[in-house]
Amino acid sequence: MIDKARYDKPRFGAIRRLFGGDRPLESDHSLGARVLCIASGKGGTGKSVVATNLASLRASRGEKVLLVDFDAGLANAHLLLGLAPRFDMGHVISGDVEAADALIEGPEGLMLLSGGVGRHALANPTRRELDRLFRALRPLEQEFDLVIIDHGAGLGYGTVAHLAATSTLLIVTNPEVTALSDSYALYKRATMVNPHVVTGLVVNRCPTEAQANAGWDRFRGASERFLGHSPEYIGWVPSDDAVLQSVHERRPVSLTRPQSPAGVAIRTVSEWGPIDKARTSRAFYEKARKALR
């Protein structure tokens, strides 16, 4: 946890020092962080496993990474990373702590903002509460190279606001019809509120490459037929016992078993080119606040 007493609130001076801000940066922080939204439309696709692994891998490359678990009220990123946050998103929304105080350090130096567990208010935040949260998160954009937002299932106010604001979206789905259908609905909504969003799709937890390709073909066919466009197919992540073991160990598979089939596949996903260009024309959370109105 970051101690409030260690930094000047208005300017976040000590946070900048904590994150190495007194050293020359490779990225241009005057533009703020790059932001990658990860969503699925349906629960149970393994999206949070992908998100926590991507965050860990990008942090291992020396990037300053913030993972925001936006599955508010049903968060599990902290469990997958082996962390026990003292504060979560609910404390930020209520004003009990500032956003910086709710962060906790994870593998490879990534920072996590947990979404909290078992809170009804977090599962159904109002527009006013979301506006307060987005306003609180806005200063952190200047302190990170990359912000990864792990969305929960569904298309609530918060998710749609993020989709409208982001430049880059990663959809994680499974080869089952229900997962593909919900992911298509998410993609359709994203392109409705944000026609220029760059979108990639990953078929996760798939037994064979043939099944992954068949799932992608169905998704692409529906997208091209009804929307006139489709996302980029990034690839597939195989069903792998190494992932199950990593969940049990509460450590990302990409770190514990990097040469496993899933570990290799997730590393490929983490190298998707648009992540390196995932900036918006102005501050991400300013755009997200505007989308709430």
d(C-alpha 69, C-alpha 112), whole Å: 7
The three-class DSSP label of residue 284 is: helix
11, part of any domain:
no
52, part of any domain:
yes
Please determine, for residue 141, whether its predicted confidence score (pLDDT) is greater than 80: yes
If you search the block for the tokens 């259908």, which residue do you land on? Answer: 181
Reported confidence tier of residue 7, pLDDT bands at 50, 70, 90: very low
d(C-alpha 126, C-alpha 221), whole Å: 36
72, part of any domain:
yes
55, part of any domain:
yes
13, part of any domain:
no
Residue 70 near residue 151, CB atoms below 8 Å: yes
36, part of any domain:
yes
Rg of the chain over Cα atoms, rounded to whole angstroms, equals: 18
User: Which range marks the domain in which residue 39 is found?
Assistant: 29-291
Half-sphere exposure of 78 toward its Cβ, with a 13 Å CA cutoff? 24
Please determine, for residue 265, whether its predicted confidence score (pLDDT) is greater than 80: yes
Q: What is the pTM of this model?
A: 0.88
12, part of any domain:
no
d(C-alpha 241, C-alpha 222), whole Å: 32
Please, what sign has the CA dihedral across residues 232, 282, 75, 108?
positive
Torsion of CA 118, 111, 51, 128, to 10 degrees: 50
What pLDDT is attached to residue 154? 79
Least-confidence region, from 22-31, 167-176, 196-205 = 22-31
162, part of any domain:
yes
What pLDDT is attached to residue 123? 66
Give residues with Cβ within 8 angstroms of 27, minimum separation 6. Answer: 34, 145
Residue 171 near residue 151, CB atoms below 8 Å: no
Give residues with Cβ within 8 angstroms of 172, minimum separation 6. Answer: 38, 39, 40, 45, 46, 47, 50, 183, 201, 202, 204
What pLDDT is attached to residue 281? 80
Residue 179 near residue 207, CB atoms below 8 Å: no
Total domains present in the chain: 1
d(C-alpha 110, C-alpha 91), whole Å: 20
What pLDDT is attached to residue 161? 95
Least-confidence region, from 42-46, 132-136, 201-205 = 42-46
d(C-alpha 33, C-alpha 25), whole Å: 12
DSSP string, 196-226: T-EEEEEEEEES-HHHHHHHHHHHHHHHHHH
CATH number assigned to the domain comprising residue 144: 3.40.50.300
What pLDDT is attached to residue 124? 74
